[in-house]
Amino acid sequence: MSNELTGAEALLRMLELHGVDTVFGLCGDTSLPLYDAFFRDGRGIRHVLTRDERSAAYMADGYARVTGRVGVCEGPSGGGATYLLPGIVEANESSVPVLGITSDVSVSARGRFPLTELDQRGLYRPLTKWNTVLDRSADLPRAVRAAFRAMTTGKPGSAHIGLPFDVQTGVVPASEIWTQAEHGRAPSWRSAPAAEDVERAADRLVAARRPVFLVGGGVIAAGASEALMALAERLDAPVTTTVSGKGALAETHPLCAGVVGSNGGVLATRAVIDAADLVVIVGCRAGSTSTEHWRHPAPTVPIVHIDVDPAAIATNYPTEVALVGDARLALEALDLAVADRLAGRPERDGAGRASVAEAKRSKWAAFGLLAADDATPIRPERLIRDLAAALPDDAIVVADPGTPCPYVSAYFELRRPGRHFVTNRAHGALGYSMAAAAGAKIGRPDARVVAVMGDGAFGFTVGELETLARLKLPVTMIVVSNAVFGWIKASQRAGYGARYFSVDFERTDHARIAAAYGVTSFRVEDPRELPSTLAKALAHDGPVLLDVISQPLQDAAAPVSQWMG
């Protein structure tokens, strides 16, 4: 290695040492030094050219969620820096480690009205866990180390580094190129809760007659599924999950009641939460969606809350015991303490398993009637039933937050724990699933990856069909085609007397559009053709799109509590 590097060269070496193998991004004038460094010596890092900076950030997000490693995206100054924002803030609020790198005008040009100048530091400050715009090339290695440390320790989140043009071309001493390698993956440097808090929580759990777990995405991120299962089984305690926590426990487990809340929860699973005399919240902020606006669980129910972020605890519910620390370490310590207290006592009465079995019986009976319907347009329940039957257990389903999300979260039963379901529930921007599925496929190439989106979302992201075709990326895309921004129209029906305004648009032939991009495609109007068409799509070794002509959401029986009458 030379004694000196350019800033762009130093950045690539720092990424390499942190274990980065892929960068998603889009070119621009201010990024030319970085792209030239990639061309000359990319350090084995793959650069994926996207057609939109938003997609680059969503790809990095999907990649990070399924690998646990930091996802990296980049974009140019001006419009590129603003387009990258939706994915960066989504990752931050969803506790996903994503690094956004933006190039910028030269430091020497600041304040002289150069093209694309804006205050990137101010722009990203409220939307990231850590953020800087560099003034000197020599500071770059230290900034990268700080960004990776922030993204992967404590509560994971996103970070932003702004690289002015002359910082990319300036000199960095080679002696500054070093990293803390474990900061390439989250969580790193785990922390355990205080021992006295574990003892107090164990006392409360053993004393409770009907404890119930409400778990979020923090359990999956921490790799805490086995610890959760062991403690739940010891206590005969039902496990309910948020949308982001789906997969914390295999949904076929006799104690897993499935998703609760206003997006994917149903009355039967709500009843499981309502029966609790103690709720243990794990890796979850207990926000409006997961608690149906803080009504389930009720505000009077005793709470034990486990979270790596103390700011998430006792914000929405009075908390009897707070366990601040990593979800896996907390659950393991709690299981040991509970086991010690239960030693020699009779086994629990099985009421927890019985309550879950009854909730599942009610839920799946109602679902089965709708899923068996041969009506057209195709019911979303029919699509979910046939998709679940066609996919292997290790598949990854990525859903846009509109029409598909409640159906997939409620009814696509995960048969093994882990990150097999991905959606952007923090800010719910449309156009996420196609790009995030591409990132997930690159991160986990051996898994079958499916993106499910509404036709509204398709319009946000159609350009990335070219990216998937160029990369020959075997992602299966399903468009739930109903010619409406369905979530809003259904809300207008439920809460505004069906006064529909500015929510309908013309139906698009998504299959023909995909074919024009070189993507194999099918159109399905008859529900009886779904199994055979899904089989052909899943057997295809390349990107493929199914255009499924579906029932409009306002006419459907979606599992969304505000529409449940």
pLDDT tens string 224-244 = 999 999 999 999 999 999 999
- C-alpha to C-alpha distance for 213 and 249, rounded to whole angstroms: 11
| 187: preceding bond cis by omega (within 30 degrees) | yes
Average pLDDT over residues 516-533: 98
Correct CATH for 4-184 of 3.30.9.10, 3.40.50.970, 1.10.150.530, 1.20.1250.20: 3.40.50.970
- Residue 484 is given by DSSP the state B
pLDDT at 2 over 80: no
Could you tell me the CA-to-CA distances from 175 to 4, 139, 169, 172 in Å, in that order? Answer: 8, 12, 18, 9
Distance CA 315, CA 1 (A): 51
**Structure confidence at residue 515 (pLDDT):** 98
70 close to 152: Cβ distance less than 8 angstroms: yes
| Banded pLDDT at 564 (limits 50, 70, 90) | confident
* Residue 59 near residue 438, CB atoms below 8 Å: yes
**pLDDT over threshold 60, residue 565:** no
* Residue 189 φ/ψ region, left for φ over 0, alpha for ψ in the -120 to 50 degree band, beta for the rest: left
For 204-218, the pLDDT digits (tens) are 999 999 999 999 999
Q: Give the mean pLDDT of the chain.
A: 96
Structural domain boundaries in the chain: 4-184, 195-355, 372-563
Segment 25-79, tens digit of pLDDT: 999 999 999 999 999 999 999 999 999 999 999 999 999 999 999 999 999 999 9
Name the percent of the chain lying above pLDDT 70.
Answer: 100
Q: What is the pLDDT of residue 1?
A: 53
pLDDT over 80 at 494, yes or no = yes
| The pLDDT of residue 453 | 97
Quick: pLDDT tens for 148-176.
Answer: 999 999 999 999 999 999 999 999 999 99
Residues 195-355: name the CATH superfamily.
TPP-binding domain (3.40.50.1220)
| Alpha-carbon gap, residue 205 to 213, rounded angstroms | 11
Domain pair 195-355 / 372-563, same fold: yes
Instruction: Locate all alpha helices (DSSP H) within 323-477, ordered by sequence.
Output: 327-342, 351-371, 380-390, 404-411, 433-443, 455-461, 464-471
Provide the total of helices (H) and of strands (E) in the chain, helices listed first: 22, 20
Q: What would the pLDDT profile of 89-114 be if each residue is shown by its tens digit? A: 999 999 999 999 999 999 999 999 99
Virtual CA dihedral for 203, 207, 212, 216, nearest 10 degrees? -10
- Helix (H, G, I), strand (E, B), or coil: what is residue 96? coil
Instruction: Give the whole-angstrom CA distance, residue 50 versus residue 92.
Output: 21
**Residue whose pair of structure tokens reads 């019911």 in the numeric block:** 379
What local confidence, expressed as pLDDT, does residue 346 receive?
Answer: 85
Report which of 94, 224, 257, 76 is spatially closest to residue 163, judged by C-alpha positions.
76
User: Per CATH, which fold does 372-563 belong to?
Assistant: Rossmann fold (3.40.50)
Consecutive H or E run containing 214: strand 211-215
Does residue 349 register a pLDDT over 80? yes
In terms of Cα–Cα distance, which of 210, 99, 206, 116 is closest to 156? Answer: 99
**Spatial separation of the C-alpha atoms in residues 289 and 501, rounded to whole Å:** 25
